[in-house]
Structure 1
Amino acid sequence: MEKKYWTIQEVACHLGVAPSLIRFWEKSFSGILQPHKNSKGARRYQEKDIAQLQYIYTLVKEKGYSLAGARKVIQKHGIASTITPGEVVQRLRRLRSFLVALKID
């Protein structure tokens, strides 16, 4: 069974960044990043939150955008254009089924 929520430490380890950077991005992209918080204030990230963080990571760390530039890109194109790894697997399985069906015909 797949997890529904991840801690900030797990997300930071997955992205290879410090938890403080994730908290900083959360403040910088406050309208976009809004993870759930439990009664004690601990952040709980869902798969969509992790996909958003991955997109921000790609823009800032890999493509070299400033935070303001990344915000503009996200406002212009939206962050919903990113797909989760689970969706990728589902799409690839459907494509494979389709191709196998073509091969049989």
Structure 2
Amino acid sequence: MPYKKPKIEKVIFTIGEVAKMMDVETTVIRYWENQFEALKPKKNKKGNRLFSKEDIEVVKLIHHLVKERGLTIKGAKQKLKDNPEGTSHDFEIVKKLQKIKQELMEIRDKMGNEA
């Protein structure tokens, strides 16, 4: 039986990697860290920020509120303060709907190529 290399899943990300995922500058993420209590990545001995998957979910939620929904920083902070569970739930629904939309578009494109 051949050796099967185990799949290694990354669990810690640098601020540069997170910024690239979100298509924002690292300064934006640093600013959000100062503005939102929920975003507190760990720091190594050098002071480099290390983001867990949970931290990245917080960044995605802040990005959604500020960049996609157009809320101000103050408005996003208030929304997270007033209803953190509801805001996270709403964000999860939006992500699922976006995934469904992408799948439907792929199906449409495949059907268009077959015709």
Give the TM-score range, shorter chain. Answer: 0.7 to 0.9
Tell me the distance in 1 between the aligned counterparts of 2:70 and 2:88.
19
Structure 2, unaligned runs of 5 or more? 1-7, 97-115
The unaligned stretches of length 5 or more in structure 1 are: 89-105
Query: Aligned letter for 2:83?
Result: H
Give the structure 2 partner of residue 58 of structure 1: 64
Say if 2:33 is the partner of 1:18. Answer: no
> Structure 1 residue 81: deviation in Å?
2.7
Number of residues of Structure 1 aligned to a counterpart in Structure 2: 84
CA RMSD after TM alignment: 1.9
Tell me the residue number matched to 1:48: 54
In 1, Cα distance between equivalents of 2:10 and 2:84: 26
Say whether residues 1:68 and 2:74 are aligned partners.
yes
Q: Secondary structure at the match of 1:44?
A: strand
Q: CA separation in 1, counterparts of 2:88 and 2:75?
A: 17
- CA–CA separation in structure 2 for the residues paired with 1:77 and 1:46: 23
Structure with greater Cα Rg? 2
Residues 41 and 55, structure 2, Cα contact 8 Å, conserved in 1:
yes
Separation of aligned partners in 1, 2:31 and 2:40? 12
Q: Which deviates more, 71-80 or 44-53? A: 71-80
Alpha-carbon offset, residue 8 of structure 1 = 0.3
Shift of 1:12: 0.2
Task: Give identity over the alignment, percent.
Answer: 37
Alignment-mate amino acid for residue 13 of structure 1: K
TM-score, normalisation: structure 2: 0.67
